[in-house]
């Protein structure tokens, strides 16, 4: 998984970069393919904002989160992306795979 982290009018410390990579790296367990993620961290007055775009096979997912602390914003963002990825995987599964074979047997 490739994670590109940048700061909008702020410096990204090594500790913050490692924390964000660790949190977003957990999303790779849902996919066998290579994922590209672009994360932008910014500060707007007193709110810290984390936003990310995750390029999955067949779909691009976007989420953002705001919190009074940057680490909390990254946690919220990671949780949102995790829910989005799980929802996307559920949509892409073929839920009727075994059903068509059972129907053809009963009619034949």
pLDDT in tens, 66-101: 999 999 999 999 999 999 888 887 877 756 655 554
Give CA–CA dist 95/91, Å, rounded.
9
- pTM score, whole prediction: 0.80
Percent of the chain scoring above 70 in pLDDT: 86
Question: Domains along the chain?
Answer: 2-93 (3.30.160.100)
pLDDT in tens, 73-82: 999 999 999 9
Is 20 a residue whose pLDDT tops 80? yes
Given a contact cutoff of 8 angstroms between Cβ atoms, the answer to whether 47 and 67 are in contact is yes
Give CA–CA dist 36/61, Å, rounded.
11
């Amino acid at each position: 998984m490739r994670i590109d982290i940048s700061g909008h009018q702020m410096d990204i410390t090594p500790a913050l970069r490692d924390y964000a990579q660790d949190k977003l790296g957990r999303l790779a367990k849902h996919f066998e393919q290579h994922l590209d993620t672009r994360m932008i961290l910014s500060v707007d007055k007193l709110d810290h904002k984390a936003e990310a775009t995750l390029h999955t096979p067949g779909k691009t997912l976007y989420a953002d989160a705001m919190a009074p602390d940057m680490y909390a914003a990254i946690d919220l963002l990671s949780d949102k992306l995790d829910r989005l990825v799980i929802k996307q995987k559920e949509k892409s599964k073929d839920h009727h795979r075994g059903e068509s074979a059972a129907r053809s047997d009963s009619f034949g």
